[in-house]
Amino acid sequence: MTQTKEVSGARARKAQAYASAREVLLRCGMELLTEQGFSATGLEAVLKRATVPKGSFYYYFASKEAFGREVMDAYDAYFGKKLDRWLQDGSRAPLDRLMDFVADASAGMRKHEFRRGCLVGNLSQELGALPEAYRARLDAIFTGWQRKVAACLREAQLSGAVPAGLDCDQLAEFFWIAWEGAVLRARLLRNDQPLRNFIATFLVALGVRA
């Protein structure tokens, strides 16, 4: 092996280790922020969970604020994919897809013993203590999720499953409004009954009885 190859191999390994540690930090950030929000999460807790040496945080991120922004982006990417998987499942009727998503999210909450909520909901709730720039990002995430649910509701409308007169955008907004409240309540009660109440009542608002 020539010296150049050795150097570039070492560089590649270093770059890979860097990228991998960054990824682990973001994943641990997502976990902690869905559990307890931004304010209550110290960088030490993130580093400890990620088993990345204390004091090396600023090697990976410019600040806690910058880290939070990247955690929000990573969560949006993760959750958006999950939503697409359920809401674009052509083998299921549009309203069944909505119910599938809720059932899957319920199972996910149960798996983590209802300790984890919604990262976007958590951060919205503690807005008063967050960097002002987070507000627009959180709003944009909700708007993106809303578009996905509105598209699903419009498919339901086209198929005749819900009345033609319904305002799908308003109902999609309502879906996420009530969803955040349902997740909050499910964590409090440590069971999925609020999520079941949520989807059943949402279907009633659509003019459908579950």
Which chain residues interact with its own copies by CB under 8 A? 35-37, 39-40, 115, 117, 121-122, 124-129, 135, 138-139, 142, 170-171, 173-174, 176-182, 184-185, 187-189, 194, 197-198, 200-202, 204-205
3-state secondary structure at position 62:
coil
Shortest distance in whole angstroms from residue 20 CB to its own copies: 27
Shortest distance in whole angstroms from residue 72 CB to its own copies: 13
Place of tokens 């578009």: 147
Shortest distance in whole angstroms from residue 206 CB to its own copies: 9
Nearer to its own copies, 21 or 184 (CB): 184
Shortest distance in whole angstroms from residue 17 CB to its own copies: 30
Cα separation, 39 vs 142, whole angstroms: 21
Place of tokens 């960054």: 22
Cα separation, 58 vs 62, whole angstroms: 6
Spatial contact of 37 and 125, defined as CB atoms under 8 Å apart: yes
Spatial contact of 68 and 76, defined as CB atoms under 8 Å apart: no
3-state secondary structure at position 163:
coil
Nearer to its own copies, 135 or 147 (CB): 135
Nearer to its own copies, 39 or 56 (CB): 39
Nearer to its own copies, 79 or 176 (CB): 176
